[in-house]
Amino acid sequence: MGERPEVLTIVICLVVAALTPLGCVAATGDSKRPPSLCQADEQVIFSCISHSRGKTASLCASRSLRSDRGYIVYRFGHPGRVELEYPDQHAGSRLKFRFAHYSRPLVDRFQVTFENGSYHYALCDFYEEENGKPQYERGVEVTRVDDERDPGAFVSCKSATVFRLQTLEHVIPCDKGNALAWCRGE
C-alpha cells in the first residue's frame, strides 16, 4: 500500500523547508501565494497586512537568495499601488539589511532592520509563552533616526500572514548594535 498523498506532501514540505529558503510552496506545488507585494518570481520572507489601514508590508527576495547572491527588497502599500520600495536597486541590497535573533526557553524574537533616509525600520516577529499562553507580536516598527524623543510607530499585523525572517540568519549581516542580536563569529 502506498502512502496517502497528503502525508507524502507534508514529508516533502518538511524536507524542502529544512534545506532551502523556498519553503513549502515549492514543495507542494501550491500556486496560491499569501497576500503580499512580492512579484511572482520572488519568495515571500515577511508579509504583514496592517490592522489599521489594511496596507501591506512585505519583505521579498529573489528565489536564488544566498549569502553571496540574490536580492532583498521591502515594499509597503497596497497591491498595485506600492508607496515605498527599498532599496531602489537590487544590486548589493543584502548588505543594506541587518538580522537579529534572541531566544531563551519559551521566547523567540526575530528582527530584520534597515534605514531609509532619516527613518529606521524594524520588521518584528516576536513569540513568548512565559505566562502559559502563546503570545505573538508581529509587525513593523518605524522610528526617526535623528530624533530620540520620537516614540515612532508600530504597525501591528493581522493574522494569516507570512513570517519567515529566520531564513535570513546567515544570508544578511548580523545587527551588532541590536540588543536582540547574538552575532556569532562576526
How many C-beta neighbours within 10 Å does residue 36 have? Answer: 23
One-letter identity of residue 51? H
Q: DSSP letter for 132, please.
A: S
Indicate whether 105 and 28 sit together in one domain.
no
Indicate whether 28 and 46 sit together in one domain.
no
Q: Which three cell numbers stand for residue 97?
A: 539589511
- Say what the pLDDT of residue 179 is: 81
Domain assignment of residue 151, yes or no: yes
Query: Above 90 in pLDDT, residue 30?
Result: no
Indicate whether 9 and 94 sit together in one domain.
no
Query: Above 50 in pLDDT, residue 21?
Result: no
Q: Domain range holding 127?
A: 37-168
Indicate whether 28 and 43 sit together in one domain.
no
Q: Which three cell numbers stand for residue 14?
A: 518538511
What is the sign of the dihedral through the CA atoms of 184, 123, 84 and 44?
positive
- Say what the pLDDT of residue 66 is: 95
